[in-house]
Amino acid sequence: MEEILYAFQEALLSTDIIKARQILSKTTNWITFEQLIETVIVSALENIGKGWERGEYALSQVYMSGRICEELVETLFPPESRQRKPAPKMAIALLNDYHALGKRVVYSALHASGFDVLDYGRVTTEDLVQKITNDGIEVILLSVLMFPSALHVKDVRDMLAQQGSNVKIVVGGAPFRLDRQLWRQVGADAVGYTASDAINIIQAISAGAA
């Protein structure tokens, strides 16, 4: 499996969608869709994201890797062929910040895993709360890079509480890795440090375990 992961990751970095498709196609006869997502696609996206943080890869490679994975999943595994589990209506956003890499990786991983996720892009606190209300969002995933942006999560929680909303807030990003208790302090319901964490959290919420 490690050889498959490495080959797939290299194909993504080279933006070689044909080779990436061939690699995934060869695995469909001996591993399940869920295993493929977890052990190959999500792992590759996380490795590339970490490589960017270390200065090894360009941001364009991260972005294109995510887009390629989404396209491959849609073509190789159309929605009707997937074993979809019931999931809450959810969205992902970059809150009062400008660093979209983490959001891109998590969105791609969730989408590739078969979850329907609205992408709100970069939003302010007020715009986010309005979108959540208008769209009937049940779970909002928030990505931040800067500490001041992380503190705005508390504003989102307070504004939603004033509306009587019980939307679950899932956070991620550098401030929450540096301070492992920060997510509780800003009123989030869960924190994820990797794309795999995000998938596990959504699965737990869907199952009523979080």
Give the C-alpha distances (Å, rounded to integers) separating 47 from 154, 169, 202, 205.
Answer: 30, 25, 21, 26
- How many angstroms separate the CA atoms of 47 and 51, rounded? 6
Q: Which two tokens stand for residue 98?
A: 């400008």
Per-residue pLDDT tens digits for 77-114? 665 555 555 679 999 999 988 777 778 888 888 887 77
Length of the chain (residues): 210
Q: 161 or 30: which carries more pLDDT confidence?
A: 161
| Total-model pTM | 0.76
Position 183 scores a pLDDT of 97
- Structural domains of the chain ordered from first start: 2-81 (1.10.1240.10), 90-206 (3.40.50.280)
Share of the chain above pLDDT 70, in %: 93
Per-residue pLDDT tens digits for 125-147? 999 999 999 999 999 999 998 89
- DSSP letter for 179, please: S
Closest CA to 192 of 174, 165, 166: 174
Position 138 scores a pLDDT of 96
Examine the pLDDT at 150 and tell me if it is beyond 60. yes
Q: DSSP letters along 104-169, please? A: HHHHHHHHHTT--EEEEEEE-HHHHHHHHHHHT-SEEEEEESSHHHHHHHHHHHHHHHHTT---EE
Given a contact cutoff of 8 angstroms between Cβ atoms, the answer to whether 95 and 57 are in contact is no
Question: What average pLDDT does range 17-33 have in this prediction?
Answer: 84
pLDDT mean across residues, the chain: 87
Position 75 scores a pLDDT of 77
Position 169 scores a pLDDT of 97
Secondary structure of residue 194 in the 3-state scheme = coil
Per-residue pLDDT tens digits for 157-202? 999 999 999 999 999 988 999 999 999 999 999 999 988 899 899 9
SS3 per-residue string spanning 50-111: HHHHCCCCCHHHHHHHHHHHHHHHHHHCCHHHCCCCCCCCEEEEEECCCCCHHHHHHHHHHH
Q: Which two tokens stand for residue 99?
A: 């660093």
